[in-house]
């Protein structure tokens, strides 16, 4: 296994290839519970060997979408194809899909071994092969020595691995993971994230992961699909989602962001200028935006892309002035909350590069915040 | 105040001692009395048995232990045949309760919360009427010119009434009917708390619904099945009212034998010996099942 989990995936971008055939195709799928629309006209292509994360707050429809892929819910309309086969009405027990449940749903009356063997027995796999596959899988998730234990004798992390092994031993075409790491503590979660990626690469299974944790989605996934109110808001690689959000919602959901509402006062193909009531200077952005002049837009700037200085910046654009209201020391970085004269609070993250820095700005000091013209992302919704 | 605290039992001791005291007063002491009588000899006296010990000539304590009552139980095949028949009848009744009660409990546990409460109420509703009355009602239903026979004749299914009352069939009906709630309630309590994602997991791993039932629901409901079976089986073995009202007068049931010994023959020692033997017959399998259930409970325990 590679030490750097992402290393082998550097050039893995099937979604950029127009000829690539999607492995999972979700076609205009809508799911209604009574009047409530849980999933609203979602169309999504997921490719082989991807780790695709469905990200969203609770109640956004991500779990319902996952359950439709597993076969526990039937779409109200639309179709689901897996490996080219229409799976829309196929019951769960006939799908080449396995799921890892949020609660793990490990059978409490069976040993670890029996849990993992359950699916294979159901398939009617011969005894010798079954023993071998179960043994191999238990070794892969490092549970070999716990084979004879019952679930209540295991820790949360071990139960999670039983659930994973039980799903993977069937060699599914597609593994669905519902909040796979939510029940683990922070250290174990980070460790397990990398383990999941390693296992995924070893077996070459396609993963679809549901999570509400954007950090988890960013570390795990090849691509993220952000959902809100049953709709897919944006699909992209983690860096696309972070650096090129297509709306305020996306920019605010993934990471933290400073959003300045303003009006386009200059709109050229190569640059735009925005006037915002919150800032003393105009915002100059060195790329074009497709929007009508005079329209309300939002400039989104990530906290780490803003600098703090005591001197007034030389540029005419892209700065504001305010008082340091709060400083949070995080170790690797410090977060400054700066209240601009307009009353808007700007969040700035500065790495703590030097160990000794008596000269750092401190509480109640008047400072200037400024940023590079390439930093803001301008969104129109 | 300290001395008071030292001498008065703590609140916890008081609370836990209540059930112990209860069992001591209403189970252990009566049991010891019955045990004592079972070792005594029948006599025409008041009470109708000879004392187990007495002071002979003032200084000698004379203890007379009579094992004859138990020997009598073994010698006369009426007793062990009654025991076996009672256990057989109770076993069949328990099986009947399980076969009818399990689907009912399952349906209750899987219905929507509002319907569930209504169904639960319906299951315990019979308790609002006297047990005796309900058994009497079955006489009205099963007798030769009763509701069932009349209905069948009116429909032309039969020409003459079927003899149902005073048969084993009527006893089984009465037993299953009377004890069904005792089967349903523990089963319902067990099935209701079952984690339904386990069934989804089973389906996900390739089990059809009935396979998931056999492999997941059934083993996980084992504690409920055992509890329900015990609650039905134990009282059913000693049942007296149902066989004497609905059954064949010649039907051998240990409860009836006990009644006869006690009231008709006025042989308290033999009646006590019957009761003690019955207790032993029941206690051993129950202890075994109880241990099995504890084991299952441990396995079923999660986290």
CB within 8 Å: A105 and B211: no
A chain contacts of residue B198, beta-carbon cutoff 8 Å: 105, 107-108
* % chain B with pLDDT above 90: 41
Residue B190 lies in a domain: yes
Supply the pTM of this predicted model: 0.79
Distances (CA, A) of A353 to A177, A257, A360: 38, 22, 11
Residue A145 lies in a domain: no
Q: For residue A198, give its domain range.
A: 7-96+172-248
Residue B185 lies in a domain: yes
Question: Where is the domain boundary, A248, A281, A304?
Answer: A248
Residue B188 lies in a domain: yes
Nearest neighbour of A93 by CB, restricted to B198, B206, B215? B206
Q: Take residue B19 and report the two structure tokens written for it.
A: 């059930």
Whether B236 shows a pLDDT value over 50: the answer reads yes
**Biggest alpha carbon distance in chain B?**
85
* Nearest-neighbour CA in chain A from B197: distance (Å): 6
Q: Take residue B255 and report the two structure tokens written for it.
A: 């409860």
The residue behind tokens 């906290």 is A303
Read off the pLDDT of each residue in B196-212 and give the average, rounded to a whole number: 92
Q: Please check whether residues A181 and A323 belong to one and the same domain.
A: no
Residue B287 lies in a domain: yes
Q: Please check whether residues A290 and A353 belong to one and the same domain.
A: yes
CA torsion angle B123 B126 B128 B130 (round to 10): -150
Residue A1 lies in a domain: no
Q: Please check whether residues A243 and A189 belong to one and the same domain.
A: yes
Flag whether residue A236 sits within 8 Å of chain B, measured between CB atoms.
Answer: no
* Nearest-neighbour CA in chain A from B221: distance (Å): 10
Angle, helix B29-38 to helix B268-300, in steps of 10 degrees: 140
Number of structural domains in chain B: 1
Q: Please check whether residues A274 and A343 belong to one and the same domain.
A: yes
Q: Please check whether residues A202 and A266 belong to one and the same domain.
A: no
Question: Where is the domain boundary, A248, A280, A297?
Answer: A248
Residue A105 lies in a domain: no
B chain contacts of residue A119, beta-carbon cutoff 8 Å: 205-206
Backbone angles phi and psi of A323, in degrees to 5: -110, 140
pLDDT at position B303 = 36
CA distance B78 to A191: 72
Whether A357 shows a pLDDT value over 80: the answer reads no
Residue B49 lies in a domain: no
Q: Please check whether residues A199 and A62 belong to one and the same domain.
A: yes
Q: Please check whether residues A200 and A298 belong to one and the same domain.
A: no
DSSP A307-369: EEESSPPSSSSSEEEEEEEEEEE-SSEEEEEEEETTS-EEEEEEE---S--TTS--TT-EEEE
CB within 8 Å: A101 and B200: yes
CA distance A344 to A330: 23
Lowest mean pLDDT among A6-20, A81-95, A296-310, B36-50: A6-20
pLDDT tens for B253-297 read 888 888 888 888 888 898 999 999 888 888 877 788 778 767 765
CB within 8 Å: B207 and A122: yes
CB within 8 Å: A97 and B207: no
Residue A106 lies in a domain: no
CB within 8 Å: A93 and B302: no
CA distance A112 to B69: 55
Q: Please check whether residues A269 and A216 belong to one and the same domain.
A: no
Question: Where is the domain boundary, A248, A268, A290?
Answer: A248
CA distance A199 to B286: 49
CB within 8 Å: A105 and B198: yes
Number of structural domains in chain A: 2
CB within 8 Å: A105 and B220: no
pLDDT at position B302 = 41
Q: Please check whether residues A21 and A74 belong to one and the same domain.
A: yes
Q: Please check whether residues A193 and A77 belong to one and the same domain.
A: yes
* Eight-state DSSP code of residue A193: H
ipTM: 0.80
Flag whether residue A70 sits within 8 Å of chain B, measured between CB atoms.
Answer: yes
Q: What is the CATH number of the domain that holds B88?
A: 1.10.3720.10
Read off the pLDDT of each residue in A242-270 and give the average, rounded to a whole number: 87
* Alpha helices in chain A, H assignment, sequence order: 62-70, 112-123, 127-140, 156-168, 186-203, 214-220, 238-243, 248-253
CA-closest candidate to residue A25, choices A8, A50, A56, A6: A50
Residue A120 lies in a domain: no
Q: For residue B135, give its domain range.
A: 77-300
CB within 8 Å: B299 and A109: yes
Backbone angles phi and psi of B48, in degrees to 5: -80, 45
| HEC sequence for chain B | CHHHHHHCCCHHHHHHHHHHHHHHHHHHHHHHHHHHHHCCCECCCCCCECCCEEEECCCEEEECCCCHHHHHHHHCHHHHHHHHHHHHHHHHHHHHHHHHHHHHHHHHHHCCHHHHHHHHHHHHHHHHCCHHHHHHHHHHHHCCCCHHHHHHHHCCCCCCCCCCCCCHHHHHHHHHHHHHHHHHHHHHHHHHCCCCHHHHHHHHCCCCHHHHHHHHHHHHCHHHHHHHHHHHHHHHHCCCHHHHHHCCCCCCCHHHHHHHHHHHCCCHHHHHHHHHHHHHHHHHHHHHHHHHHHHHHHHHCCC
Sheet holding A223-228, edge to edge: A97-100, A174-178, A206-211, A51-55, A223-228, A231-236
pLDDT at position B219 = 93
Residues 6+ apart with CB under 8 A from A70: A92, A95, A97, A99, A176, B200, B204
Q: Please check whether residues A13 and A85 belong to one and the same domain.
A: yes
Flag whether residue A97 sits within 8 Å of chain B, measured between CB atoms.
Answer: yes
B chain contacts of residue A109, beta-carbon cutoff 8 Å: 216, 219-220, 296, 299-300
Q: Please check whether residues A263 and A357 belong to one and the same domain.
A: yes
* Nearest-neighbour CA in chain B from A119: distance (Å): 5
Residue B37 lies in a domain: no
Q: What is the CATH number of the domain that holds A16?
A: 3.40.50.300
Quickly state the pLDDT bin for B162 (edges 50, 70, 90).
confident
pLDDT at position B15 = 87
């Amino acid at each position: 296994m590679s030490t750097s989990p992402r290393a082998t995936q550097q050039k893995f971008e099937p979604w950029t290839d127009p000829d690539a055939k999607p492995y999972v195709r979700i076609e205009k799928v809508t799911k209604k519970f009574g009047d409530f629309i849980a999933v609203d006209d979602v169309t999504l292509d997921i490719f082989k060997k991807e780790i695709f994360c469905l990200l969203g707050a609770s109640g956004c429809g991500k779990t319902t979408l996952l359950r439709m892929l597993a076969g526990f819910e039937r779409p109200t309309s639309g179709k689901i194809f897996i490996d080219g086969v229409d799976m829309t009405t196929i019951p769960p027990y006939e799908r080449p899909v396995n799921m890892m449940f949020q609660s793990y749903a490990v059978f409490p009356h069976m040993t670890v071994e029996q849990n993992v063997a359950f699916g294979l027995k159901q398939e009617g796999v011969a005894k010798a092969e079954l023993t071998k596959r179960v043994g191999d899988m238990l070794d892969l998730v490092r549970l070999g020595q716990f084979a004879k234990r019952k679930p209540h004798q295991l820790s949360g992390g071990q139960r999670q691995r039983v659930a994973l092994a039980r799903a993977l031993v069937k060699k599914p075409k597609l593994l669905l993971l519902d909040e796979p790491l939510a029940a683990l503590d922070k250290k174990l979660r980070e460790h397990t994230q990398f383990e999941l990626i390693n296992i995924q690469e070893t077996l070459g299974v396609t993963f679809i992961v549901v999570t509400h944790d954007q950090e988890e989605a960013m570390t795990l996934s090849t691509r993220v699909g952000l959902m809100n109110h049953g709709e897919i808001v944006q699909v992209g690689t983690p860096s696309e989602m972070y650096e090129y959000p297509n709306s305020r919602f996306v920019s605010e959901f993934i990471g933290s962001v400073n959003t300045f509402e303003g009006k386009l006062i200059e709109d050229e193909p190569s640059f735009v200028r925005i006037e915002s009531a919150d800032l003393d200077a105009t915002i100059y952005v060195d790329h074009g935006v497709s929007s009508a002049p005079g329209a309300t837009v939002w400039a989104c700037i990530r906290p780490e892309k803003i600098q703090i200085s005591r001197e007034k910046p030389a540029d005419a654009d892209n700065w504001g002035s305010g008082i340091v209201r709060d400083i949070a020391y995080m170790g690797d970085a410090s977060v400054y909350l700066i209240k601009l004269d307009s009353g808007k609070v700007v969040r700035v993250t500065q790495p703590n590069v030097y160990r000794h820095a008596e000269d750092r700005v401190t509480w109640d000091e008047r400072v200037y915040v400024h940023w590079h013209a390439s930093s803001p992302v301008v969104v129109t919704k | 105040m300290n001395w008071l605290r030292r001498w008065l039992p703590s609140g916890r001791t008081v609370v836990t001692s209540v059930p112990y005291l209860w069992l001591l007063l209403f189970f252990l002491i009566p049991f010891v009395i019955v045990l004592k009588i079972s070792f005594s000899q029948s006599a025409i006296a008041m009470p109708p048995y000879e004392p187990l010990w007495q002071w002979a000539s003032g200084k000698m304590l004379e203890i007379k232990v009579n094992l004859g009552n138990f020997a009598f139980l073994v010698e006369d095949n009426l007793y062990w045949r009654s025991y076996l028949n009672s256990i057989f009848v109770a076993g069949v009744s328990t099986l009947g309760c399980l076969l009818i009660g399990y689907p009912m409990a399952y349906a209750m546990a899987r219905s929507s919360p509002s319907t569930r409460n209504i169904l639960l109420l319906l299951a315990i509703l019979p308790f609002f009427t006297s047990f005796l009355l309900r058994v009497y009602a079955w006489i009205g239903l099963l007798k030769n010119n009763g509701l069932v026979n009349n209905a069948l004749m009116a429909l032309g299914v039969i020409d003459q009434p079927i003899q149902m009352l005073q048969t084993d069939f009527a006893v089984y009906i009465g037993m299953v009917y009377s004890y069904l709630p005792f089967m349903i309630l523990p089963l319902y309590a067990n099935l209701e708390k079952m984690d339904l994602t386990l069934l989804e997991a089973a389906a996900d791993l390739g089990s059809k619904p009935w396979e998931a039932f056999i492999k997941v629901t059934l083993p996980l409901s084992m504690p409920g099945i055992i509890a329900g079976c015990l609650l039905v089986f134990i009282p059913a073995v000693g049942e007296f009212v149902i066989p004497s009202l609905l059954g064949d007068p010649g039907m051998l049931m240990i409860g009836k034998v006990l009644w006869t010994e006690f009231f008709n023959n006025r042989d308290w020692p033999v009646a006590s010996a019957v009761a003690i033997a019955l207790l032993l017959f029941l206690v051993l399998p129950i202890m075994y099942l109880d241990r099995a259930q504890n084991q299952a409970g441990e396995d079923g325990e999660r986290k």
